[in-house]
DNA sequence: TCGATATTTCATGTATTATGGAATTATTGG
DNA sequence: CCAATAATTCCATAATACATGAAATATCGA
């Protein structure tokens, strides 16, 4: 992961609608969601949603697949893992106790 | 953590200079760094850096303390933990194996 | 107190980004 | 093939973010 790639990922998430979309897809898991379902779920105009989805795809945080007349979107867990890793890389400054809470909380989120 | 708070945090990190500043402070650990040291380290104009630091402070990701004629900045590990937690909350969609890699990688970053 | 260093504040021009309307492409069912 | 549904693209406008120059504030050492 390099600086501009990470910035693109963070920028993609740094907008309320897109953050909601991403979290929705993260929670939806491997099945993903159709664009229309997302639009209804978050009350977004279809064209606005398309633009936001495109930004998330460009950042590599989600992927799309056409299924019949729907387009299914899915979050990419690998991408978010890399992004978070880049964020807190070498976070301890030589003191493991400083970032221990971080790993602890993340274990919980997967229960 | 709520939507707009998370968005503010992500926006703060979604800019190359600020992301570099934040990572520098994360790696510096509890001692933190003086504004001038950061400016030199990243070759940023002092006033530009101040604006960026202010945004990171507003987002709650870093804190400042005056020490003599310097102002020391430090990253807040708690804040980034909460932000990341919000990002991947309920990330499994009922399938723990999906987000297992995430927690694994984060353990490593603390070694 | 005075000069030097460190940092911040203010004002401004420029560029990027978000949003919504209208038209377009893709797919299914009759 | 035609109508309906799903999603996207194009385009214009409005809002926001960024970097820079100049001035101001705070602290230290002589």
In tens, the pLDDT along A1-58 reads 999 999 999 999 999 999 999 999 999 999 999 999 999 999 999 999 999 999 999 9
pLDDT of residue B3: 96
Q: What is the CATH number of the domain that holds A71?
A: 1.10.10.10
Strand D contact at CB of residue B95, distance < 7 A: no
Is B87 in contact with A13 (Cβ distance < 8 A)? yes
Number of compact structural domains in chain A: 1
In sequence order, the β-bridge partners of residue B71 are B66
pLDDT of residue A46: 96
Backbone angles phi and psi of B74, in degrees to 5: -135, 145
Strand C bases, protein C-beta under 7 A: 4-10, 17-23, 26-28
Residue A62 has pLDDT above 50, yes or no: yes
CB burial class (10 A; 0-12, 13-18, 19+) of residue B56? Answer: buried
Strand C contact at CB of residue A20, distance < 7 A: no
In tens, the pLDDT along B36-66 reads 999 999 999 999 999 999 999 999 999 999 9
Is A81 in contact with B102 (Cβ distance < 8 A)? yes
Please enumerate in sequence order all residues whose Cβ is within 8 A of that of B57, keeping only pairs 6 or more positions apart, or say none: B63, B64
Q: Does A54 touch chain B (CB under 8 A)?
A: no
The range of the structural domain enclosing residue B51 comes to 3-108
Q: What is the spatial distance between Cα A11 and Cα A17, in angstroms, rounded to a whole number? A: 12
* 3-class state of residue A20 by DSSP: helix
């Amino acid at each position: 992961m390099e600086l501009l790639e990470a910035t693109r990922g963070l920028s993609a998430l740094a907008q309320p609608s897109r953050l909601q979309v991403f979290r929705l897809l993260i929670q939806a898991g491997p099945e993903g969601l159709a664009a229309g379902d997302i639009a209804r779920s978050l009350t977004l105009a279809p064209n606005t949603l398309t633009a936001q989805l495109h930004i998330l795809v460009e950042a590599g945080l989600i992927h799309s697949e056409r299924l019949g007349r729907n387009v299914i979107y899915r979050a990419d867990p690998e991408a978010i893992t890399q992004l978070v890793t880049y964020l807190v890389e070498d976070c301890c400054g030589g003191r493991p106790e400083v970032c221990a809470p971080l790993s602890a909380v993340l274990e919980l989120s997967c229960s």
